[in-house]
Amino acid sequence: MAETDNHPTNFIRQIIEKDLAAGVHDTIKTRFPPEPNGFLHIGHAKSICLNFGIAADYQGTCNLRFDDTNPVKEDIAYVNAIKEDVNWLGFSWDGDVRYSSDYFEQLHGYALELINKGLAYVDFSSQDEMREMRGTLTQPGKNSPYRDTDVATNRREFEKMTAGEYAEGQCSLRAKIDMASPFMCLRDPVIYRVKFAHHHQTGDKWCVYPMYDFTHCISDAIEGITHSLCTLEFQDNRRLYDWVIENISIDCTPRQYEFSRLNLEYTVLSKRRLIQLVEEHHVDGWDDPRMPTIAGLRRRGYTPASVREFCKRIGVTKMDNMVEMSMLEACIRDDLNVAAPRAMAVLNPIKLVIENFPQGQVETLSAPNHPNDESMGKREIAFSRELWIEAEDFREAANKKFKRLVLGKEVRLRNAYVVKAERVEKDADGNVTVVYCQYDPETLGKDPSDGRKVKGVIHWVDATSGEEAEFRLYDRLFNVPNPAAEENFTDVINPDSLVVKKGIVEAGLNENPASGGWQFERTGYFCLDKTSTAALKVFNRTVGLRDTWAKIGD
RNA sequence: UGGGGUAUAGCCAAGUUGGUAAGGCAGCGGGUUUUGAUCCCGCCAUUCGUUGGUUCGAGUCCAGCUACCCCAACCA
């Protein structure tokens, strides 16, 4: 099987290879066609990677086309956000951005052609009457009394519709197909409706707007799309797609192929629900780092490469699926593990005082930016008598499974010396606030010369130079794997999806590194949030480190 | 007997002239390690929704069942 550029093959690529080999097409052309009625999410990333990826791998091109046939739901703000997201993912569309609305004039002409062929009619039935006449899944529908209106009358009525002489809901243009078809979408579907709405692209030029099924196939044909890829719920619609193309005068026959949409555990991936989360303020906005939106993932610290890798790993099939979050997390960890410089931060600080270290002295230590990659260089970090360490890295007593600092025992301070805890100071509640210790000056960069084995290593931040910072730790947005299956999905929102910590970070982390973020050793991958200021740095935890210890418990 | 789809491990997914079940994620052992990380090594489907049939041989072909998803917006 051909695997272009390490892309695993899939049934759609196989169809394309077959078409190319058989000479059905010389070059292939795809399109990514979002409706600008919300932000893009990780499910769209799957479609984007598929469409643009195929174009790139088979020397074809891919258009970005806004499917903007319903002005009341759409907004220019969404078209801008979508363009940004596609670019951020690393893809470039062919030529200018397209809009279905670019073709309103042509679409209107094709509607007229259908009318002239006796294949479309203006129906003055109400929506209720139409539903009544449509029949059910098991019973055929009944013909509308307007179905046999003559061509001339239909032409005149459609022009009146277009001229704004009928109110919204008063009439619609329908394709004349088959009221007894087992495909519900073939039971004389509405192809134009009246809407006195301002359109973000065409302004107030139109008061009739074409429906999706009529628009999409024609837009594809106009643009010379060879393979029109969409999700499974449009499988029935393909019959209508093909019917329209066959019945109008257009010399291009795009083919539609359907793949299954992505489902991710512990989140929701439908625009309707995402919009609800934003509008009801369950989250901070479309780019809230807990959101599965591209903007949310970006702010959370996911890299474009990690999202592309995820899309590659999940594959493309027609099977319904529910992908585990661990799959996504593995992708960002793999990326950041090799690319992110290391640093140290203490999220839940207590004081560590080194009693045999001279008061007022500050030593400069050197620390590698990456333990396995010397080319990433070193940095200087301050070390003095008082440091911050994590509260959970110290215990007054513990068994030997606890490889951290214990009273009377030794531990290695990462990139520094071995220290031995001697005594503690507690607050009124009995919480340890200060640990006093002795350090072994002979242990910088080497093990104790007497052969003592010090297994544990903990991170720290120098108290004289460390900066206070806010750390935002994220967890899954929902408490159940499939919130969409819930009666009311907002009932299962995880109340602890965001935990804010006030801690200390080493100095010098002023802007995100090229990799996108840092690894704060032993605590996870972090990036500076857009709300970060010079006065108070704010870090988002992109994802934690794989934590075997947490699983074992203690 | 409405129609359209899909069934391979906990999850994703290869398998396409029938020849004896890839890979990834997760998990479990072990090694290295100044991150309980990384890295390395090993384990993880006698079986492909199910029941029959054809065949020397079936995940792949045939028939019957079963389960799940989608379709009755002037949404996309």
ipTM score: 0.97
Burial class (CB in 10 A: 0-12, 13-18, 19+), A260: middle
Nucleotide nearest to A263 (CA to C1'): B12
Nucleotide nearest to A33 (CA to C1'): B76
| Residues of A marked as catalytic | 35, 261, 271
Q: Is the CB of A234 under 7 A from strand B?
A: yes
How much is the pLDDT for A553? 55
What is the crossing angle of helices A304-314 and A325-339, to 10°?
140
Give the total residue count for chain A: 554
A390: enclosing H helix or E strand: strand A386-390
CA–C1' gap, A485 and B25, in angstroms: 24
pLDDT tens-digit map of A378-396: 999 999 999 999 999 999 9
| A19 Ramachandran zone, left/alpha/beta (phi>0; psi -120 to 50) | alpha
In chain A, where are the structural domains located?
11-259, 271-341+469-553, 350-459
CA–C1' gap, A72 and B74, in angstroms: 13
Locate A81 and state its tokens: 């956000």
**Bases of strand B lying below 7 A from some protein CB:** 2-8, 10-16, 22-28, 33-39, 68-76
Q: Is the CB of A546 under 7 A from strand B?
A: yes
Strand partners, A478: A493
Q: Are A98 and A29 in contact, with CB atoms under 8 Å apart?
A: no
Spatial distance between the Cα atoms of A529 and A384, rounded to a whole number of angstroms: 29
Spatial distance between the Cα atoms of A288 and A525, rounded to a whole number of angstroms: 17
E strand intervals along A130-288: 172-175, 190-194, 208-210, 227-231, 255-259
CA–C1' gap, A233 and B3, in angstroms: 13
Spatial distance between the Cα atoms of A22 and A378, rounded to a whole number of angstroms: 56
Which of residues 477 to 516 on A have a Cβ less than 7 angstroms from any strand B atom? none
A474: enclosing H helix or E strand: strand A467-474
Lookup result for tokens 């009318």: A115
Which of residues 45 to 74 on A have a Cβ less than 7 angstroms from any strand B atom? 67, 69-70, 73
Which of residues 431 to 470 on A have a Cβ less than 7 angstroms from any strand B atom? 443-446, 456-459
* pTM assigned to the model: 0.97
Q: Is the CB of A306 under 7 A from strand B?
A: no
Q: Is the CB of A170 under 7 A from strand B?
A: yes
CATH of A350-459, one of 2.40.240.10, 1.20.120.640, 3.40.50.2000, 2.40.10.10: 2.40.240.10
How much is the pLDDT for A3? 40
Nucleotide nearest to A443 (CA to C1'): B34
Which of residues 81 to 140 on A have a Cβ less than 7 angstroms from any strand B atom? 123, 125-127, 130-131, 134, 136-138
Q: Is the CB of A209 under 7 A from strand B?
A: yes
CA–C1' gap, A330 and B11, in angstroms: 13
Strand partners, A230: A258
CATH fold label, A271-341+469-553: Glutamyl-tRNA Synthetase; domain 2 (1.10.1160)
CA–C1' gap, A308 and B20, in angstroms: 36
Nucleotide nearest to A18 (CA to C1'): B16
Locate A486 and state its tokens: 């819930």
Report whether CATH 3.30.390.10 matches the domain A11-259.
no
Locate A530 and state its tokens: 């857009």
Per-residue pLDDT of chain A (554 residues; tens, 9 = 90+): 344 447 889 999 999 999 999 999 999 999 999 999 999 999 999 999 999 999 999 999 999 999 999 999 999 999 999 999 999 999 999 999 999 999 999 999 999 999 999 999 999 999 999 999 999 999 999 999 999 999 999 999 999 999 999 999 999 999 999 999 999 999 999 999 999 999 999 999 999 999 999 999 999 999 999 999 999 999 999 999 999 999 999 999 999 999 999 999 999 999 999 999 999 999 999 999 999 999 999 999 999 999 999 999 999 999 999 999 999 999 999 999 999 999 999 999 999 999 999 999 999 999 999 999 999 999 999 999 999 999 999 999 999 899 999 999 999 999 999 999 999 999 999 999 999 999 999 999 999 989 899 999 999 999 999 999 999 999 999 999 999 999 999 999 999 999 999 999 999 999 999 999 999 999 999 999 999 999 999 999 999 999 988 876 55
How much is the pLDDT for A550? 82
Radius of gyration (C-alpha) of chain A in whole angstroms: 31
Q: Is the CB of A231 under 7 A from strand B?
A: no
> What are the Cα distances from residue A535, in Å, to A262, A343, A470, A527, A538?
41, 20, 11, 17, 10
Q: Are A383 and A362 in contact, with CB atoms under 8 Å apart?
A: yes
Of the candidates A109, A7, A32, the residue with the CA atom closest to the CA atom of residue A314: A7
Q: Are A90 and A312 in contact, with CB atoms under 8 Å apart?
A: no
Q: Is the CB of A280 under 7 A from strand B?
A: no
Which of residues 358 to 387 on A have a Cβ less than 7 angstroms from any strand B atom? 370-372
Of the candidates A528, A49, A56, the residue with the CA atom closest to the CA atom of residue A304: A49
Locate A184 and state its tokens: 């519900």
